[in-house]
Amino acid sequence: MNLVHLLLRHARLTPHRPALFHGTAPFATYGQWAARSAALARHLRAAGLQPGDRVLLFMRNHPRYLEVLCAAWWAGLVVVPVNAKLHPREVEWIVENAQARWGFTTSDVAPDLLAGLERQIDIESTAADALLEPAPEPDAMDTTDRGPDDVAWLFYTSGTTGRPKGVMLTHRNLMTMGLTYFVDVDPVAAQDAIVYAAPMSHGAGLYAIPHLMAGARHVVPASGGVEPAELFALGWQMGALSTFAAPTIVKRLVEHAEAARIPVADCARAFKTIVYGGAPMYVADIQRALQAMGPRFVQIYGQGETPMVATALSRSMLADSGHPRYLERIASVGMAQTPVRVRVADGQGNSLPAGETGEVLVQGDSVMAGYWSNPEATAAALRGGWLWTGDVGSLDAEGFLTLKDRSKDLIISGGSNIYPREVEEVLLTAPGVAEVAVVGAPDPEWGEIVVAFVVAHDGTPLVHAELDRHCLAQMARFKRPKRYITVGALPRNNYGKVLKTVLRQQI
């Protein structure tokens, strides 16, 4: 099993089908994509790289990202995708930890040579052009055999506390993820197009696999990132796009649609499907998104350790506003995806009854092989055949999973458990509140107290007493924040997740 066979299949069957685009400009057909990846794979093997060796991808979003990715698999190598927003010194730590041999970069994110690499290639250089130049020999398309349990993708977690861990994802893990997309997320046809606006080093890049399976089109915006006006225009020109987006990106798209007064019908012409995940999507935010852009949304919950696969909340469920439990459903992250089992357990691994809160556990063929060179972390995360996610949640009688928070974010005040997301959901419905993050702060009397960091709409002053009244009208008194701190913005990591560790440090 080698994932690159997905590309080779379409290169042989439909070599002239358009495959890669940079903005609206064609970049490669399936035949050209395969020929370029095969050429680079030959150079990698000729340079002495052996199956299982690691190759770093540290670049902004670019069509050549996918050509290099497939070249590495073609040669039987492991890709190490790194977010382009990391500092080069952080990347050098990953190079050393992964023992990566070659690196592919763009000069805007890596203007200097990274320590530890045998060779570093700017993908926009003439050197890269030469390495990707197809060979004339007809037998140049040979691929390196890999087993289903061989590592294909070494993903380093965002590392909000301490050093990031390298998640080993196998060809089986990624094949499972790709096939699951068709069943639990969205059908894909050859005429469809996925746009890579979020970092290709993360979930957006992983979703290249199901779209490669379908022989669909792969579009990188000319800007390489998230420019809402550009994405809408791109969809209107290329045909309705699919994309993966963190909730922060969804909010930007929605705000643009509202500000530009784009009708729902025109939103449908721009976007086929927007899959969101990676951070909490609050009820008020998804309701606003559905009203502004219509039923184009699907929610997934997964982790780097079970990539994009744990639960899903389908388009039809998000649109079914007449369901008697609609609000509870859209506050959840949906039901277990087809190839996995999901349960909620206590600290000893015993399954808890419906409605009770505990740690979320996942089992199935999408779950990682373990952490790179970190047996202690592997043993802590993989226990009894289950992935212990570190997320806290509860399952209802129908199997819908509602996440509460990361286990480390739980607040215990006066002996009572308080889940920050509960408080955040309420505060987001308060007038004038644009964003909120709730953390616990040490307190000599209560052990911890609830502190809310709030961002105002358009800088409108927030009256803390009014926020307090709003909370008391909707939740138990002991859950309400004892302090409110107004800030201009919430600190986020490279993937858009709020850095609650930074907020705790500020306290």
Give Cα separations from 386 to 130, 350, 476 (angstroms): 46, 12, 35
Domain that holds residue 378: 338-406
Q: Of 406, 428, 457, which residue is a domain's last?
A: 406
Residues 105 and 67 in one domain: yes
pLDDT tens digits, one per residue of 61-72: 999 999 999 999
For position 261, what pLDDT does the model report? 98
Residue 161 pLDDT greater than 60, yes or no: no
State the pLDDT at residue 432.
Answer: 92
Identify whether residues 499 and 436 lie together within a single domain.
yes
Together in a domain, 2 and 132? yes
Q: Is the per-residue pLDDT at 26 higher than 50?
A: yes
Q: Is the pTM of this model over 0.75?
A: yes
Confidence of residue 460 (pLDDT cuts 50, 70, 90): confident
Q: Comparing 2-6, 44-48, 444-448, 471-475, which segment has the lowest mean pLDDT?
A: 444-448
Quick one: 493 and 367 in the same domain? Answer: no
Tokens 């893990």 correspond to 173
What local confidence, expressed as pLDDT, does residue 476 receive?
A: 78
pLDDT-based confidence at residue 365 (cuts at 50, 70, 90): very high
Residue 119 lies in a domain: yes
Return phi, psi of residue 29, to 5°: -85, 175
* Domain end position, chosen among 406, 434, 451: 406
Residue-wise pLDDT for 181-215, tens only, equals 999 999 999 999 999 999 999 999 999 999 999 99
Name the domain boundary from 108, 124, 146. 146
Instruction: For residues 400 and 419, state if they share a domain.
Output: no
Q: For residue 222, is it within any domain?
A: no
CATH assignment of the domain containing 437: 3.30.300.30
* Per-residue confidence (pLDDT) for residue 415, from 0 to 100: 67
Name the domain count of the chain.
3
Question: Tell me, what's the pLDDT at 495?
Answer: 63
Question: Residue 244: inside a domain, yes or no?
Answer: no
User: 324 in helix, strand or coil?
Assistant: coil
- Using DSSP's 3-state secondary structure scheme, residue 100 falls into coil
CATH (domain of 367)? 2.30.38.10
Least confident among 107-111, 410-414, 468-472, 484-488: 410-414
Same domain? For 400 and 427 the reply is no
> 119-159, pLDDT tens digit by residue?
999 999 999 999 999 977 655 678 999 999 999 999 998 65
Same domain, 1 and 119: yes
pLDDT value at 475 more than 70: yes
- Predicted local confidence at residue 442, as pLDDT: 87
39 in the same domain as 104: yes
Nearest Cα to 278, choosing from 249, 242, 302, 243?
302
Mean pLDDT (whole number) for 411-416:
77
Is residue 385 domain-shared with residue 421, that is, in the same domain? no
Gyration radius of the chain over CA positions? 23
pLDDT at residue 307 is higher than 80: yes
pLDDT at 299 over 90: yes
| 417, 402: one domain | no
Residue 152 lies inside a defined structural domain of this protein: no
Got the DSSP string for 186-243?
----TT-EEE--S-TTTHHHHTHHHHHHTT-EEEE-TTSS--HHHHHHHHHHH-SEEE
β-pairing, 102-105 vs 54-58, is parallel
Does the residue 34 lie in any domain?
yes
Summarised one tens digit per residue, pLDDT across range 88-97 is 988 999 999 9
Residue 168 has pLDDT above 60, yes or no: yes
Q: Specify whether 348 is located in the same domain as 435.
A: no
- Assess whether 366 and 490 both reside in one domain: no
Beta carbons of 173 and 198 less than 8 angstroms apart: no
Q: Examine the pLDDT at 18 and tell me if it is beyond 60.
A: yes
Please enumerate in sequence order all residues whose Cβ is within 8 A of that of 194, keeping only pairs 6 or more positions apart, or say none: 207, 208, 211, 216, 217, 218, 219, 241, 242, 243
pLDDT at 227 over 70: yes
Helix (H, G, I), strand (E, B) or coil at 416: strand
For the ranges 329-333, 370-374, 440-444, 483-487, the lowest mean pLDDT is seen at 440-444
